[in-house]
């Protein structure tokens, strides 16, 4: 499985249009969440395992849609037998579509996790750059700041960060209200002031 498009085509050809549409939406949601996570949780050591769980859930949901469309009676009864190793129809024959999905599910999950981690690492670099820009402007307008606890290799920095730099940091702190420490509360107040100063200079 070389890319997302191939996985989506395989889901479509195997489970049908409805399941494939749900899978495609779930893929978009996954990569949007990866970008958000990279900004707000750039040092999550369990990120890979969480992405793997999400990818497994995406495939399971696609199978559930297929089963619901094809193996549920009008009165809502499930017309499929599930054993530890197989999914069997009313004639006790393996459901070939589910067998096909199970044979390639690990391949699909592995590919999705690799792509998610690549996006997460790109997001980590962006988060680091944003943090460095904020620190530079805090030092310019507030004074020297203590060194950050986590450091990554230096990245290219612009002299004039966009307003979004402050807004992202403010959003991170605002999400912790009302549990901010005194230092975090002071920093949030400083960022409000810095945003006003920066807005006037842009």
Q: SS in 3 state form for 130-170? A: HHHHHHHHHHHHCCCCCCCCCCCCCCCCCCCCCHHHHHHHH
Q: What is the pLDDT of residues 3-12, one digit of tens each?
A: 889 999 999 9
- Residues 94, 106, 40, 22, CA torsion sign: negative
Q: What is the pLDDT of residues 44-58, one digit of tens each?
A: 888 899 999 999 999
Domain ranges of the chain: 4-123, 127-201
Q: What is the pLDDT of residues 66-117, one digit of tens each?
A: 999 998 888 878 888 887 778 888 888 999 999 999 999 999 999 999 999 9
Q: Alpha-carbon distance 60 to 79, whole Å?
A: 18
- Take residue 1 and report the two structure tokens written for it: 């499985």
Q: Alpha-carbon distance 184 to 169, whole Å?
A: 11
- Name the 3-class secondary structure at 178: coil
Q: Alpha-carbon distance 48 to 158, whole Å?
A: 31
pTM, to two decimals: 0.63
Reported confidence tier of residue 158, pLDDT bands at 50, 70, 90: very low
């Amino acid at each position: 499985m070389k890319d997302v498009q191939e996985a989506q085509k395989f889901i479509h050809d195997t489970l049908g249009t409805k399941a494939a549409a749900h899978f495609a939406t779930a893929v978009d949601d996954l990569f949007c969440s990866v970008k958000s996570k990279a900004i707000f949780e750039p040092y999550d050591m369990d990120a890979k395992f969480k992405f793997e769980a999400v990818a497994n859930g995406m495939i399971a949901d696609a199978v559930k849609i297929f089963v619901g469309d094809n193996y549920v009676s009008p009165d809502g009864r499930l017309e499929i037998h599930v054993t530890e190793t197989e999914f069997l129809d009313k004639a006790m024959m393996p459901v070939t579509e589910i067998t096909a999905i199970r044979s390639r599910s690990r391949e699909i999950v592995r590919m999705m996790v690799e792509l998610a981690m690549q996006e997460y690492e790109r997001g980590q670099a962006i988060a680091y750059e944003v943090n460095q820009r904020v620190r530079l402007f805090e030092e310019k307008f507030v004074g020297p700041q203590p060194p950050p606890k986590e450091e990554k290799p230096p990245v290219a920095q612009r002299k004039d960060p966009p307003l979004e730099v402050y807004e992202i940091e403010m959003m991170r702190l605002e999400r912790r209200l009302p549990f901010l420490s005194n230092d975090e509360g002071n920093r949030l107040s400083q960022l409000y002031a810095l945003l006003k100063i920066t807005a006037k200079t842009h």
